[in-house]
Structure 1
């Protein structure tokens, strides 16, 4: 549930508490590490179908950015969500798929990402901001096992062997795992900051185990603000100093991690 702590002035001029959201912050400095993550303290129950959704804002993109891992002792990659600028990569029961997306992602912008699996139809569905990006036929031939949710890292083994080059730098909220297939309407409403579907087995409101990560409260209005379209310019290769000047001249900013270890 939202927590109080931010104030806004109402129509009558009286200050009123505005709703705030619990937000997880990972790798704010952008330096890649496999030591920054959050792990759920509860696990899911075995189920034939499942859904995992999250709202994210990227500070620094990796060659492939891993947002979440639903991982179990039976299969380290039950449901994993990865992103890049122009595609998403669902991983369900260790099967990998690339899906192009309708609009390129950008840093410092909130997006809603949802993956669902329908065991009866043997289909994986991927949603971005409530819009269906693709449906993949995939018969897992097994139920999802009891699993733990890890945020910010790609797990090659159960709760270990995290890969820093796929680690997440940014903020996460509206986290949820369900032991059923969410409908397209439920996903769309949630993406629009509407009702959160009932029946979550894992959510951000529960206790989490944090490692080089922290929670902050942000105004719900900030997280749910409408996005503005961006224009992308592809510049020719140039020295670092020249790129800073070029970006500044275009009215932008070039965020660069403070340590060279962050560079792929």
Structure 2
């Protein structure tokens, strides 16, 4: 198995995510973050696995920003290393402009939500 590290990076702050996804199975992952206090929560398959605080509080995500998935970035605008890339598939990526509740996340993970897609990106 390859080593699998997941992180949230905002400016110079990093939060290590407590996911275990390198088992060859599909997983539902959800990360919430609030701008007011920088509190984040990480859910895997509908179950809260970790949380933290002070992750870029009061630093809004700008409309012209860059979202990088599946690749560790060593420097802004580049610094990618192919040996640090995610190998696998991503499906049903959704982004909301609000924090989802634990119940909403569990419903999404268990396919109990009809047409519940992100209002920013889906």
TM-score past 0.5 threshold: yes
Q: Distance in 2 between matches of 1:199 and 1:105?
A: 23
Deviation at 1:176, TM superposition (A): 1.1
Q: In 2, Cα distance between the equivalents of 1:93 and 1:144?
A: 11
Counterpart of 2:116 (choices 172, 183, 197) is: 197
- For normalisation by structure 2, the TM-score amounts to 0.76
Cα-to-partner distance string for 1:30-83 (whole Å, 9 max, x where unaligned)? xxxxxxxxxxxxxxxxxxxxxxxxxxxxxx63x344xxxxxxxxxxxxxxxx1x
Aligned to 1:248: none
Q: 1:187 aligns with which of 79, 99, 105?
A: 105
* C-alpha displacement of 1:141: 2.5
Residue 151 of structure 1 corresponds to: 69
- In the other structure, the counterpart of 1:161 is 79
Q: Distance in 2 between matches of 1:99 and 1:150?
A: 15
Deviation string, structure 1 residues 75-126 (Cα, Å, up to 9, x no partner): xxxxxxx1xxxxxx3334442223545xx54432011111111123431111
Query: Please, which of 82, 85, 108 is the counterpart of residue 24 of structure 2?
Result: 108
Equivalenced residue count is 118
More strand by share: 1
* Closer, same or farther: CA 94–189 of 1 in aligned 2, 3 Å: farther
In terms of Rg, which structure is larger? 1
8 Å Cα contact 1:90-1:126 kept in structure 2: no
Q: 1:137 to 1:194 in 2, by over 3 A?
A: same
Contact 2:43 2:50 survives alignment (8 Å): yes
**Larger relative contact order (CA 8 Å, sep ≥ 6):** 1
Tell me the secondary structure at the aligned position of residue 164 of structure 1. strand
Q: Which shows bigger deviation, 145-154 or 115-124?
A: 145-154
Contact 1:93/1:140 (<8 A) preserved:
no
- C-alpha separation in 2, matches of 1:148 and 1:200: 18
1 or 2, which has the higher helix percentage?
A: 1
